[in-house]
Structure 1
Amino acid sequence: MKRKRTSKKKVFLWSFIVLFLLGAGIVSGYGAYLTDKAKQATTSSQLELKRGDMSKKRDEIVDPYQDNISILFLGVDDSEKRDYDSNARSDAMVLATLNEEEKSIKLVSIPRDSYAYIPQMDKMDKITHAHAYGGVDYAVSTVENLFDVPVDYYVRLNFNAFVETVDTLGGIEFDVPFDMTEKNSDDQHGAIQLEEGQQDITGEEALALARSRQYDSDQARGKRQMEILQSIFDEASDMKSVTKYGSLIDSIGNNMKTNMSFDEMSALHNYVLNRNISFETMQLDGEGTYINDLYYFKVYDDSLASIQNELQTHLDLTQPNDTIDEKNKKDSSYAKKSSSEKEEDKDY
Structure 2
Amino acid sequence: MTNFRMGPRKKKTSKKRLFLRVFLILIVLMVASTGAYAYWLTKKAEEAANNAYDKDNTRIKSELRETQVEPMTDNVSILFIGIDDSEKREQGSNHSRSDALLLATLNNKTKSVKLLSIPRDSYAYIPYVGYQDKITHAHAFGGTNATIDTVENMLNVPVDYYYRLNFDAFIEIVDALDGVQADVPYALHELDENDKRTVNLKPGLQTLNGREALALARTRKQDSDIKRGERQQMILEAILKKASSVTSFTKYDDLLAAVGNNMKTNMTFNEMKSFFEYIKGGMPNVESLALKGDDDMSTGIYYYKLNETELVNTQNTLRKQLGLTDSDPSNAQDSTADTNSSGGSGGSGYKSNYNSDNKSQ
Task: Please say whether Structure 1 and Structure 2 have the same fold, judged by a TM-score greater than 0.5.
Answer: yes
Indicate if the aligned counterparts of 1:49 and 1:137 stay in contact, CA closer than 8 A: no
Which residue of the other structure, out of 219, 243, 254, is the alignment partner of 1:247? 254
Q: Distance in 1 between matches of 2:298 and 2:36?
A: 58
Indicate if the aligned counterparts of 2:121 and 2:304 stay in contact, CA closer than 8 A: yes
Deviation at 1:130, TM superposition (A): 0.6
Q: Distance in 2 between matches of 1:326 and 1:233?
A: 32
CA RMSD for the aligned pairs? 2.4
Letter in 2 for 1:322: D
Map of 2:271 onto structure 1: 264
Which residue of the other structure, out of 182, 188, 191, is the alignment partner of 1:174? 182
Q: Does 1:137 align with 2:169?
A: no
Letter in 2 for 1:299: L
Letter in 2 for 1:128: T
Give the gaps of 5 or more residues in structure 2. 1-33, 342-347, 349-361
Deviation at 1:102, TM superposition (A): 2.3
Structure 1 residues 30 and 125 mapped into 2: Cα distance closer, same or farther (>3 Å)?
Answer: same
Map of 2:156 onto structure 1: 148
Map of 2:120 onto structure 1: 112
Which residue of the other structure, out of 312, 327, 350, is the alignment partner of 1:321? 327
Letter in 2 for 1:202: N
Number of equivalent positions: 305
Map of 1:124 onto structure 2: 132
Per mean C-alpha deviation after superposition, the further-off stretch among 289-298 and 123-132 is 289-298
Indicate if the aligned counterparts of 2:77 and 2:104 stay in contact, CA closer than 8 A: yes
Deviation at 1:256, TM superposition (A): 0.7
Q: Distance in 1 between matches of 2:158 and 2:141?
A: 21
Q: Distance in 2 between matches of 1:278 and 1:176?
A: 23
Letter in 2 for 1:235: K
Give the gaps of 5 or more residues in structure 1. 1-26, 336-341, 343-348
Q: Distance in 2 between matches of 1:100 and 1:70?
A: 11
Using structure 1 for the length normalisation, give the TM-score.
0.81
- Greater gyration radius: 2
Q: What are the Cα deviations for residues 203-251 of structure 1, in whole angstroms up to 9, with x where unaligned?
A: 1111111100101111111111111222233333343322111011001
Q: Distance in 1 between matches of 2:308 and 2:48?
A: 41
Indicate if the aligned counterparts of 1:210 and 1:228 stay in contact, CA closer than 8 A: yes
Per mean C-alpha deviation after superposition, the further-off stretch among 236-245 and 249-258 is 236-245
Q: Distance in 2 between matches of 1:237 and 1:152?
A: 23
Using structure 2 for the length normalisation, give the TM-score.
0.78
Structure 1 residues 188 and 69 mapped into 2: Cα distance closer, same or farther (>3 Å)?
Answer: same
Pairwise mapping of residues 6-17 of structure 1 onto structure 2 (< 5 A)?
Answer: none
Matched residue SS, 1:294: coil
Deviation at 1:290, TM superposition (A): 1.6
Deviation at 1:274, TM superposition (A): 4.1
Which residue of the other structure, out of 87, 93, 110, is the alignment partner of 2:95? 87
Indicate if the aligned counterparts of 2:190 and 2:199 stay in contact, CA closer than 8 A: yes
Deviation at 1:272, TM superposition (A): 1.3
Structure 1 residues 324 and 235 mapped into 2: Cα distance closer, same or farther (>3 Å)?
Answer: same
Map of 1:196 onto structure 2: 203
Q: Distance in 2 between matches of 1:41 and 1:291?
A: 47
Q: Distance in 1 between matches of 2:191 and 2:332?
A: 43
Letter in 2 for 1:185: E
Map of 2:109 onto structure 1: 101
